[in-house]
Amino acid sequence: MRAIINIILLIVILTFLASSLIGIILIPLYFFFVFFGSAKRKRKVASKIDTMLVDGERIVASAIEYRAISLFRRRRSIFTTNNRVIFIKRNLLGGYQMMDRKWKDLRDAQMSENIIPGLSGTALSFSFIDPPGGSMQLAGASPDDAAKVYTFAQSQEQAWEEKRRVRGLEEKRAASGGINFHGFPQQSGPSEPLNPTLISGKTIDVSPSDIVAGEINRAKALLDSGSISDDEFQEIKSKILNRHF
């Protein structure tokens, strides 16, 4: 519907301007800036995104708004990588604004087909957990491109929902098991039986909680040093808790 309204509005404006000398000058300028070199500008944006990717990151899918959707503003685009989703909003007089969000912060991804999809395309919408209420929208892009972006976003949404569910169970399990690390509460009650361990020729008692905390602290040290990512740290922590509890 937006594309149809834009086209009707453009026809009205052009008809009005065509009857004046100013309009005769403005109409060619409008078509020059809106349509001339649009493919080159699209490639330039993609190249800019490439330079901003970190090691191991790659573009998986992308979509850019149809021209009919953006007759009175610069076209917006979305790029999805294996790490995040990137939203590009180009300014009217040059330059751009970029907003990116990690997949772990994705709350919901939606896709809806507009009226006359060949003209209006398919709309995309992303909402995020952090910051609350954060969102990205593309009013209408190529249905094929939009489907690729949406499909990958859905796979990430489902994967991170499962990770958050598992993490919640881990935190509850850790709290009920009496482990106290990174802010988890210490459970009151009888202490766990101590296991004798030989260290430097002396026998000392080490509790299971100490063993778990030690393993997690070693993984945390790897995270702090940059040897592993946050996702890898969470996976390691999950395995440690599952192994001991």
- Cβ contact 101:84 at 8 Å: yes
d(CA 47, CA 70): 22
- Residues 171 and 49: their CA atoms lie apart, in Å, by 37
CA 81 from chain centre, in angstroms, equals: 8
The DSSP output letter for 67 is: G
Q: What tokens appear for 166 in the block?
A: 């598992």
Residues of the chain with CATH 2.30.29.30: 2-160
CATH no. of 2-160: 2.30.29.30
Q: Write the DSSP symbol of residue 155.
A: H
pLDDT of 194 reads 44
State how far the Cα of 233 lies from the Cα of 229, in Å rounded to an integer: 6
User: Tens of pLDDT along the chain (245 residues)?
Assistant: 676 776 677 677 767 777 777 777 777 776 666 666 666 767 777 788 888 888 889 999 999 888 777 777 788 899 999 999 999 887 766 677 888 999 999 999 999 988 887 888 899 999 998 777 788 999 889 999 999 999 999 999 998 888 888 887 777 776 665 444 444 444 444 444 445 544 445 444 545 667 778 888 888 888 887 777 887 788 888 888 777 66
Nearest Cα to 123, choosing from 100, 147, 106, 105? 147
